[in-house]
Amino acid sequence: MVVLHYTAMDSARRACDWLCNGASQVSSHYLVGRNGRITQMVREADRAWHAGAGRWGAVSDVNSRSIGIEISNDGASPFPAAQMDALEHLLAGIMHRWSIPPERVIGHSCLAPGRKIDPGPRFDWQRLARRGLAIWPSPREEGPDGTDEAAFRDLAARAGFTADVDHATLLAAVRLRFRPWGQGALSGGDMATLSDIAARFPVDAGRGEA
């Protein structure tokens, strides 16, 4: 899979220095600057330490099964066009080389709900989805099964959100990825969104690694 992050730093140079510093105990395969410059720091076939603790579907060791892309962003700013253009080009190549489907391009917040929020609510997932580089829901207007929390958790697991977190944290993670404008209690819109994703892009949520 591919995991997208933001650096939460004020420049790509500072982020690169930190990611290449052994004392940081973190690393990533790529860094994409705001101007579109791409820096490769780890070979795609090698493991990078970018994901940390978390889970996606049946995968609990995400670092061993993913390529990490750090996007230079302070966490509050928009992502410039040049940066998104470069990211799209990079993603297309990675997905082709490793036969990665768009549903396995995820955010750090997806695998580590409550612990991470990157690439954040300002990241344009819809743009990637229009180019076949990620997924985006096309739900019905009404939500199935009302707003039952157990049904919501089941749909979330089928969509890949299998980290062991409480309901509020899970809801926040799902919204951050698919409904960043969502607020308040679990709604029919949340249910409809997850129902659509789980039906069209089911993820293996078994106990074994996938």
Q: Name residues whose C-beta falls within 8 Å of residue 181's C-beta, 6 or more positions apart in sequence.
A: none
Q: Give CA–CA dist 155/163, Å, rounded.
A: 13
Q: CATH number of 2-130: 3.40.80.10, 3.30.360.10, 3.40.50.620, 3.20.20.70?
A: 3.40.80.10
Q: Which of 8-22, 71-85, 110-124 has the lowest mean pLDDT?
A: 8-22
Domain boundaries, the chain: 2-130, 149-200
Residue 205 pLDDT = 63
- The per-residue pLDDT for range 141-164, each reduced to its tens digit, is 655 545 799 999 999 999 999 999
Other Cβ atoms less than 10 A from the Cβ of 62: the count is 23
Compute the radius of gyration of the chain from its Cα atoms.
17
31 forms beta bridges with 39, 70
Which residues are the active-site residues? Answer: 70
